[in-house]
Structure 1
């Protein structure tokens, strides 16, 4: 998320007003995916860039996920940054963006972005990320994906529509939409990217899943009547499915990771 609170309304600038809901309902990432993203990193200093309310930041600070990480989080939206500081006081949290990172040259071993890399202006962000990384450092983006190989999840995607389940929200769509997302050699000195998809899941109720989907950028910018109609359709679908109609259920997911090493 690379635009601040004063930007015109639009998907990339829509999150600050829903920072509390985002913090409460957005899922974390598969632990194995976070570890895979950091596997080639030469040291423990990690920047969570476009950190939002700190979903990824909290995982980086958890020694059961990443032992010994030294975490800095950078986020442009003041409301999101406030939530992050409350939820992850162990991180150094700074205002800034992917295009203007408030850190010195060569100060981190890895830059991670959770559901944020697609918002970056890579022509400006690529050289900035390379600047703050040490040689051999890692840039990785992580995305949570709905596993539409499961029948009822595929049905949910159809009912919800493209504003809710968008171009990076299912595995095949994510692979296509992120095929050229990393900075090319003409922009910044990174090796060709590697890709992985790791199993993930979240326990949800129908109500909490609707609340989660309501934090998607496409929903946040809808007129109120359209938003109510969209969430109403999703509620009706979940109430009609045996997998989701009663109490808690497991939402099948995957975490997709795209990583590249700085030369």
Structure 2
């Protein structure tokens, strides 16, 4: 699974780091990453000279991360909830991983890891087929196994709401201020096989029984054109520790 994440999940653009650094308004020296996966975001921040500590509960993911990031990156096999307050960081961020964390006490724990005035960043977003006709065909192929493959908003925020999660929670938190939401528009082209590989890393498919996974991927592969264009916009949430 770790190798599939590294191979099929798109990386992040340099523009993302520029956005976080501009929001910080001063040089970011240290960062803690939550749910680092295979290091898609880790390498970008490390390449900027930030001293990154990447945390990830899955040992296989961390092993894959170690192949792809600079040696300066520190790693720790730990879930967010297991991190002990101690060292404080200028930046704490999560790349398409925050929805895995426990909502209870999430923001007080987050604040305890940040220096006063430090920055929290969360970014990610669903990847959708750009062509409505292809999307409709794939939806029909998937329907016997799965109604939707999107992650619902963890706090129930409707998709058309101006502020999306986790910005909604950050706005309500006593620990954070200056909550901002931005979107980096992005289009990605993949082969049909790589797109199905990407789907194999999505939680909605991962929870299906193995036989159903095999069947749904086969059905989707059958209806896809040779290459697909994807809408892969990145929604970025930024907030400052009070």
TM-score bucket (shorter structure): 0.7 to 0.9
Q: Contact 2:167–2:180 (CA<8 Å) still a contact in 1? A: no
- How do residues 155-234 of structure 1 correspond to structure 2 at under 5 angstroms? 155=136, 158-159=139-140, 160=142, 161-167=146-152, 172=159, 178=166, 180-182=168-170, 184-186=172-174, 189-191=175-177, 193-234=179-220
Q: Contact 1:72–1:93 (CA<8 Å) still a contact in 2? A: yes
Q: Contact 1:19–1:79 (CA<8 Å) still a contact in 2? A: yes
- How do residues 113-132 of structure 1 correspond to structure 2 at under 5 angstroms? 113-132=94-113
Structure 2 residue corresponding to 1:60, chosen from 45, 49, 52: 45
Q: 1-side partners of 2:164 and 2:137: how far apart? A: 21
| TM-score where L is the length of structure 1 | 0.76
Q: 1:221 to 1:74 in 2, by over 3 A?
A: same
Q: Contact 1:100–1:125 (CA<8 Å) still a contact in 2? A: no
Q: Contact 1:30–1:200 (CA<8 Å) still a contact in 2? A: no
Q: Does 1:51 align with 2:36?
A: yes
Structure 1 residue corresponding to 2:5, chosen from 15, 22, 34: 22
Shift of residue 34, structure 1, vs aligned partner: 3.5
Runs of 4 or more, structure 1, over 6 Å off, are: none
| TM-score where L is the length of structure 2 | 0.82
Q: Contact 2:187–2:230 (CA<8 Å) still a contact in 1? A: yes
Q: Contact 2:130–2:230 (CA<8 Å) still a contact in 1? A: no
Partner of 2:182: helix, strand, or coil? strand
Q: 1:173 to 1:162 in 2, by over 3 A?
A: farther
Q: Contact 2:30–2:91 (CA<8 Å) still a contact in 1? A: yes
**Per-residue deviation, residues 24-62 of structure 1 (Å, max 9, x unmatched):** 211112332343234322423222111111111122223
Q: 1:182 to 1:197 in 2, by over 3 A?
A: same
Partner of 1:145: helix, strand, or coil? coil
Q: 2-side partners of 1:207 and 1:136: how far apart? A: 45
Shift of residue 85, structure 1, vs aligned partner: 1.4
Q: Contact 1:30–1:255 (CA<8 Å) still a contact in 2? A: no
**Per-residue deviation, residues 157-188 of structure 1 (Å, max 9, x unmatched):** 634444533326xx9479655453438435xx
Q: 2-side partners of 1:30 and 1:167: how far apart? A: 25
Shift of residue 126, structure 1, vs aligned partner: 1.9
Structure 2 residue corresponding to 1:252, chosen from 217, 231, 239: 231
Aligned to 2:52: 71
Output the aligned Cα RMSD: 2.7
Q: Which segments of 5 or more consecutive residues in structure 1 lack a partner in the other structure?
A: 1-17, 239-244
Shift of residue 120, structure 1, vs aligned partner: 1.2
Shift of residue 92, structure 1, vs aligned partner: 0.9
Q: 1-side partners of 2:55 and 2:222: how far apart? A: 39
Q: 2-side partners of 1:100 and 1:148: how far apart? A: 37
Partner of 2:79: helix, strand, or coil? coil
**Per-residue deviation, residues 63-106 of structure 1 (Å, max 9, x unmatched):** xxxx3222111111111111111221431111222223256332
